[in-house]
Amino acid sequence: MLDIRNAVKVFEKGTPIEHTALNNLNLHLEPGEFVTVIGSNGAGKSTLFNAVCGTFLLNRGRIFLDGQDITYLPEHVRARTIGRVFQDPMKGTAPHMTIEENLSLAHSRSTARALSFAPAKKEIALFRDRLSEFRMGLEDRMKTKVGLLSGGQRQAVTLLMCTIVPPKLLLLDEHTAALDPATAEQVMDITKKTVEAYRLTTMMITHNISQALSTGTRTVMMDEGEILFDMSGEEREKTTVDDLMRMYSTSRKKELDNDRMLLKKE
Amino acid sequence: MKLLIDSIQLGLLYGVMALGIYISFRILAVPDLTTEGSFAFGLSVSAAVTSLGHPVLALPAAMAAGAAAGAVTGFLQTRWKIHPILSGIITMSGLYSVNLSVLGGSPNLTLVRANTVFKLIPFLSKNDAKTVLPIFFALLCLGLIILFFRTHIGMCIRAVGDNEDMVRASSIHTGACKIIAFCVSNGLIALSGALIAQYQGYADISSSTGILVVGLASVIIGEAVFGRRSVTVGFISAVVGSLIYRYIIALATRYSPLPAHMLRLVSAVIVALALALPAFREHLGTARLRKGGTDDA
């Protein structure tokens, strides 16, 4: 579904603080794969997501999505087929607009007609239906401004916005990291169900290694703009958090360092 | 009574402008200085076309002119990435020359002999028309603009002002949304100028100086009455704010010792104080805390 070939991204090129964030990275995702991405600080995880979304262009390399070359497509065009949830719950929604207006905005990528009234009645029924699946009571608060919701509720709305028209690729950038543990679990649960129900091709950055190993179908560890390990299936099932740490230290000759990484087993 | 009727007439005509200002100032959250130029642009185009004998055509012509000015500002801002305030200033400065040329090189033009829309209505005297037409135009614009902001494109524009990143991530072209918003906003502002020119029977370029502050004052006064609620209420409150503003100004010119040329200063002070209110409140709160009180209040 997603095919990244020889991706290179260098920041501040030609200055003393030149920094290679993606170093000839290759990654291929099959349709329906759910890949968790881990890595130390500055490993290039978010850079990878930004490159796929078109926040900036690559210095070298190509990106294909569903066979289409999207390397030079502008961000808002890619957004038609790529959904993204950020860590910051403020980022994905418009705070002064109601839940149904936010959802309608996202839903419009399939139906957009500039001068039709929005949100349309048909849409609202659909939103209510989908929101009720979350069991957060949001379906009864459709006319509430999103700014009044809690972080977890906002992330749930954002997730629905990204998936109301099933995207070809769903990118989750530590989307539960800013939430309290109970809410994080709730949002994670919703995420898993949604991904499963629509068989979404998904990449999720997480700082929780045991979650990375237990969620999805494949785990990728990034370091210095490259992919260090890539495991799936039986190999992944047998791997523990400790194994991963050891593999990292032997191959990089240094300790895995991420000030937010959760190394303990739960 | 005359005072009240005059301020209703002017308040409604300037209310059309307040609608435009509400779009840029509250919905896009960018104070748009193009206003100063596009109001005069509407004024000039309307006067020029009216003096050629087409007072009705003058109105859509002025709107188109204003929309074009808005498009330029929007383009500078979104495509050439010039700072929002500067983009407005650039367009406004350029328009000064354009407006002078539209008026044939002179800063003013009289329409005393020309037929204006206010003289055209059958069964209505010119004086009655001066009340009926402003009501008609204000309600028409208010209704259309409220409907417009309930459509998909209107919702996109609101979202751009609220959270631009999110809109981009929803596959909507934020630049296009902004340009459309500036077109609509400045089209309304120019229409207001066009009506004012025909209402007064003359066009004077300098009458647009400081007009942005007048519009902001209307929006802020309206919000003081209605509170900040939905966009629909916001538009209504902008027009009501314009009515109140005009009445205050009319009273002030009549009874206060201040000469008429001090009006803009008064408006500027009103706007500055209204915008400073949150800061005043915060300061008061800190002062109370320092004195050992609580911030329950």
Closest-CA residue to B27 (of B190, B150, B200, B191): B150
Q: Are residues A119 and A179 in the same domain?
A: no
A182 touches chain B (CB under 8 A): no
Of residues B294 and A77, more confidence is placed in A77
The sign one gets for the Cα dihedral B103, B104, B108, B111 is: negative
B173 touches chain A (CB under 8 A): yes
Residue among B154, B163, B168 whose CB faces A95 most closely: B163
B167 touches chain A (CB under 8 A): yes
Residue A265 — pLDDT band, cuts 50, 70, 90?
A: very low
Residue A266 — pLDDT band, cuts 50, 70, 90?
A: very low
Number of domains chain A is built from: 2
| DSSP string of B166-208, one letter each residue | HHHHTT--HHHHHHHHHHHHHHHHHHHHHHHHHHHTEEEGGGG
Q: Is residue A2 part of a domain?
A: yes
DSSP 8-state secondary structure symbol assigned to residue B151: B
Mean pLDDT of chain B: 91
**Residue A88: pLDDT over 50:** yes
Q: Are residues A243 and A141 in the same domain?
A: no
Residue A112 has what pLDDT? 59
Residue B3 has what pLDDT? 87
DSSP 8-state secondary structure symbol assigned to residue A147: G
Q: How many CB pairs under 8 A join A and B?
A: 78
Whole-number Cα distances in Å, B254 to A90, B4, B11, B172, B250: 50, 12, 17, 51, 6
Q: Which of B128-142, B190-204, B276-290 has the lowest mean pLDDT?
A: B276-290
Contact (CB<8Å) A118/B174? no
Please say which residue of A166, A188, A203 terminates a domain.
A166
Whole-angstrom distance between the N-terminal and C-terminal Cα of chain B? 43
**Residue B127: pLDDT over 80:** yes
- Return residues 13-42 of B near A (CB < 8 Å): none
Q: Are residues A27 and A121 in the same domain?
A: no
Contact (CB<8Å) B152/A106? no
**Chain B residues with CB-CB distance to A157 below 8 A:** none
Residue extents of the structural domains in chain B = 2-207
- CATH number at A45 reads 3.40.50.300
**Chain B residues with CB-CB distance to A79 below 8 A:** 168-171
- Return residues 124-153 of B near A (CB < 8 Å): 150-153
Residue among B159, B162, B170 whose CB faces A109 most closely: B170
Q: Is residue A88 part of a domain?
A: no
Q: Are residues A140 and A262 in the same domain?
A: no
B103 touches chain A (CB under 8 A): no
Contact (CB<8Å) A97/B168? no
Contact (CB<8Å) B172/A92? no
Dump pLDDT digits (tens) for B32-91: 999 999 999 999 999 999 999 999 999 999 999 999 999 999 999 999 999 999 999 999
Q: Are residues A74 and A172 in the same domain?
A: yes
**Residue B97: pLDDT over 50:** yes
Q: Are residues A259 and A130 in the same domain?
A: no
Please say which residue of A151, A166, A181 terminates a domain.
A166
Helices B2-22 and B34-51, packing angle to 10 deg = 120
A92 touches chain B (CB under 8 A): yes
CA distance linking residue A13 with residue A20, whole number of Å? 9
Dump pLDDT digits (tens) for A190-211: 999 999 999 999 999 998 888 8
Residue B297 has what pLDDT? 47
Residue B293 has what pLDDT? 66
Q: Is residue A86 part of a domain?
A: no
Which residue does chain B place closest to A93, by CA atoms? B166
Q: Is residue A87 part of a domain?
A: no
Dump pLDDT digits (tens) for A12-34: 888 888 888 899 999 999 999 99
CA distance linking residue B11 with residue A5, whole number of Å? 63
**Contact by Cβ (8 Å): A54, A78:** yes
Please say which residue of A166, A200, A223 terminates a domain.
A166
Dump pLDDT digits (tens) for A122-149: 889 999 999 998 888 899 999 999 999 9
Residue B166 — pLDDT band, cuts 50, 70, 90?
A: confident
Q: Are residues A144 and A241 in the same domain?
A: no
Residue A62 has what pLDDT? 94
Residue B296 has what pLDDT? 54
Range of the domain at A172: 1-81+168-266
Residue A255 has what pLDDT? 66
Dump pLDDT digits (tens) for A33-72: 999 999 888 888 999 999 999 999 999 999 999 999 999 9
Q: Are residues A134 and A183 in the same domain?
A: no
Q: Are residues A190 and A238 in the same domain?
A: yes
Q: Are residues A181 and A73 in the same domain?
A: yes
Residue among A53, A84, A114 whose CB faces B153 most closely: A114
Of residues A112 and B235, more confidence is placed in B235
The residue-averaged pLDDT of B268-289 equals 84
Residue A83 has what pLDDT? 92
Residue B95 has what pLDDT? 96
Residue among B158, B162, B169 whose CB faces A79 most closely: B169
- Residue A194: both structure tokens together: 């949604």
